[in-house]
Every structure is written in structure tokens, then in C-alpha cells.
């Protein structure tokens, strides 16, 4: 019975009006808006692997939602709801209260409902969230659309979370614990960006996925990388390691033609964006410093390293 009292106490807040049936039945019910495609993704966070064991439960709740909304945003879609599969080593009410509050805080900020899930016991704290969203038929922005001559653009700043992981307690820790999914920016790129990805495993590796899927190359100007003040102060090699190979940014990286970039800027996006490079013929990523070739060897985060 513990399972049901956990669900009732912590995971049974009312859904938004767009949900026909939420938590409490065998499945949830949603009505697809006319002419929209379902966009769906899942992401699992394992304690000690994806976040330090002593991470505040409120932050774990926020982040487990945010990383999924970031994947929805990276398709250009609007998030609508999430499901939560929760595996707990024990029942800790203080932990559950703070965790569920963090989860709902992120849901509320982005207009998303928790509509169902599963609750089990297991030796490891594991959180698996599935997110659902909608996008007009044919409007999703894939990784495979980058064209030679497109600009490479990134949102926010990169490397903050990786820096914070090495400097726990630093002001940038909020960027590690409370990533901001770029939902509004992602949707504003519909019909404008040619390809898009969200950066979870480091900019170099994730941009590499776009290049591979699009069968193109890119040059990236190191001096253009958007960095927080704390990172700007570091030696070149160290700051570029954080910015290019650090994980957990949850910023958007997209490609866009120069004409569409002008249209985007006329819309005055609230989220800061920076042009960091250009799509070229060929394959792979070439780094430049002040316009000159600059060789760097970085790897992103490897889940099975």
C-alpha cells in the first residue's frame, strides 16, 4: 500500500485543462490537437551517475523534468506533459516532499502536467521521466538538416555545469542543478532553423551529431564561444575543455541560414544566442582561433566509458 500513499501524497496534483485524464487510472488520456505530431522522449537519471549523491532533492526533481523538456525544445516542439518512473531505495518523506516540489516547480514554469508514472523499490535511486509534446505536422527540426553556408548558433553560455561539478558550492552550481530548458527559443525556431540539438554531452560532441546526421562539416571560432565570467578568466585550454567537452549544459545548438537568422533577430528572442561558427562542405569540426586553424582534441561525456 505504501506505493499508493506515495502517489497520493506527492504525485497527484491536478493536471492542466489540456489533459483529459491524468494520474489515477491505468493510463492517462490526451486528445491530440488537430494536425499536430506527438513528440515524445525519455531520459533517466541515476543517483551518483548523473548527479552527485548529495544533490538537493528539490534540484533532482527540477532537473529530471528539465532535461526532458530540453529534448522536446530541441525538436522545436511545445511540451505538454510528463510521466515519472521512480525507483526508490527507501521511503524518505522529507526527500519525497522536496523532490516532488522541484518536479512540479519545473512543470509549472513550463505549463506541463505530470499525468502518470510508476513507483517501485530498488537498491538505486533512479528517475526516469518521459516527456510528451506537440508540433505542427512536418515542422519538427531534426539533426539532419544543416546546409553548407548555415550559421552555427548556441543559446546561453556553455561549460557552466561542468565547471560547477568541479567547484561544488560555486555560484554556477545553479546551472548544474537547475538547468533551464530553452522551450520558448526552440519553438521560435520552427520554420527558421535547419537543424537543432540540445547540448547534454558537450558542445563538440553534440554538434558532431548534427554534422554526421547532415553529412556536412563546420568551423567553430573558439573566441566566439559564449562563456560566463568565471570561465572567461581561465586559461584557454581549460575554458575550452569546459565549454566544448563539459556535459549538462542543456542549451540549444542549431544551424540557420543567414537570411533566417536576420528574421529570427527581428523577433528579438529573449534567450541570448551567439553565432559560433559556420557549416562547411566535408566532415567533422574544425576549430579556429581568430580565424586561424587551432587543433584541439576533446571528447564529450561517454556513458559507458
- Residue 108's binding partner, choosing from Mg ion, ligand ADP, none, with beta-carbon cut-off 5 to 8 A by kind? none
Nearer to ligand ADP, 23 or 164 (CB): 23
- Residue 25's binding partner, choosing from ligand ADP, Mg ion, none, with beta-carbon cut-off 5 to 8 A by kind? ligand ADP
Find out whether 214 and 262 touch, Cβ atoms under 8 Å. no
Interface characters, 209-248, with Mg ion (x: CB under 5 A): ----------------------------------------
Terminal alpha carbon distance of the chain = 40
User: What minimum distance in Å lies between the beta carbon of 115 and ligand ADP?
Assistant: 7
User: What minimum distance in Å lies between the beta carbon of 61 and ligand ADP?
Assistant: 11
Nearer to Mg ion, 73 or 82 (CB): 82
- Number of other CB atoms surrounding residue 155 within 10 Å: 25
For strands 78-88 and 113-121, give the pairing. parallel
The window from 23-31, 111-119, 173-181, 231-239 that contacts Mg ion (CB under 5 A) reads 111-119
CA angle 201, 11, 86 (to 5 degrees): 45
Long-range pairs of 43-50 with CB within 8 A, sequence gap ≥ 24: 43/67, 43/68, 43/71, 43/128, 43/129, 43/131, 44/126, 44/127, 44/128, 44/129, 45/126, 45/127, 45/128, 45/129, 46/124, 46/125, 46/126, 47/124, 47/125, 47/126, 48/124
User: What minimum distance in Å lies between the beta carbon of 120 and ligand ADP?
Assistant: 8
Nearer to Mg ion, 120 or 147 (CB): 120
The window from 34-42, 91-99, 115-123, 259-267 that contacts Mg ion (CB under 5 A) reads 115-123
Nearer to Mg ion, 6 or 197 (CB): 6
Give residues in contact with ligand ADP (CB under 6 A). 7, 11, 23-26, 84, 86, 114, 116-119
φ, ψ (nearest 5 deg) of residue 39: -115, 125
User: What minimum distance in Å lies between the beta carbon of 31 and ligand ADP?
Assistant: 18
Tell me which residues touch Mg ion (CB under 5 A): 118
Amino acid at each position: 500500500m505504501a506505493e499508493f500513499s506515495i502517489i497520493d501524497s506527492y504525485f497527484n496534483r491536478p493536471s492542466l485543462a489540456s489533459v483529459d485524464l491524468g494520474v489515477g487510472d491505468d493510463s492517462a488520456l490526451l486528445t491530440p490537437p488537430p494536425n499536430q505530431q506527438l513528440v515524445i522522449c525519455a531520459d533517466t537519471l541515476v543517483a551518483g551517475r548523473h548527479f552527485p549523491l548529495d544533490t538537493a532533492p528539490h534540484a533532482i526533481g527540477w532537473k529530471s523534468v528539465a532535461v526532458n523538456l530540453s529534448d522536446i525544445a530541441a525538436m522545436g516542439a511545445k511540451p505538454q506533459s510528463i510521466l515519472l518512473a521512480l525507483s526508490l531505495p527507501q521511503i524518505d518523506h522529507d526527500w519525497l516532499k522536496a523532490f516532488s516540489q522541484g518536479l512540479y516547480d519545473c512543470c509549472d514554469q513550463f505549463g506541463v502536467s505530470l499525468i502518470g508514472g510508476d513507483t517501485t523499490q530498488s537498491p538505486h535511486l533512479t528517475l526516469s521521466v518521459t516527456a510528451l509534446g506537440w508540433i505542427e505536422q512536418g515542422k519538427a527540426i531534426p539533426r539532419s538538416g544543416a546546409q553548407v553556408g548555415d550559421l552555427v548558433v548556441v543559446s546561453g553560455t556553455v561549460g557552466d555545469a561542468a565547471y560547477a561539478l568541479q567547484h561544488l558550492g560555486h555560484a554556477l552550481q545553479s546551472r548544474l542543478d537547475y538547468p533551464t530548458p530553452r522551450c520558448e527559443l526552440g519553438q521560435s525556431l520552427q520554420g527558421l532553423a535547419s537543424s537543432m540539438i540540445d547540448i547534454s554531452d558537450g558542445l563538440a560532441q553534440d554538434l558532431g551529431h548534427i554534422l554526421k546526421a547532415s553529412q556536412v562539416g563546420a568551423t567553430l571560432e573558439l573566441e566566439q564561444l559564449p562563456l560566463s565570467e568565471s570561465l572567461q578568466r581561465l586559461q584557454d585550454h581549460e575554458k575550452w575543455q569546459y565549454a566544448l567537452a563539459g556535459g549538462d549544459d542543456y542549451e540549444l545548438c542549431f544551424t540557420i541560414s543567414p537570411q533566417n537568422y536576420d528574421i529570427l533577430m527581428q523577433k528579438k528572442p529573449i534567450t541570448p544566442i551567439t553565432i559560433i561558427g559556420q557549416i562547411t562542405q566535408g566532415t567533422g569540426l574544425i576549430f579556429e582561433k581568430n580565424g586561424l586553424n587551432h587543433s584541439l582534441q576533446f571528447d564529450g561525456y561517454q556513458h559507458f566509458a
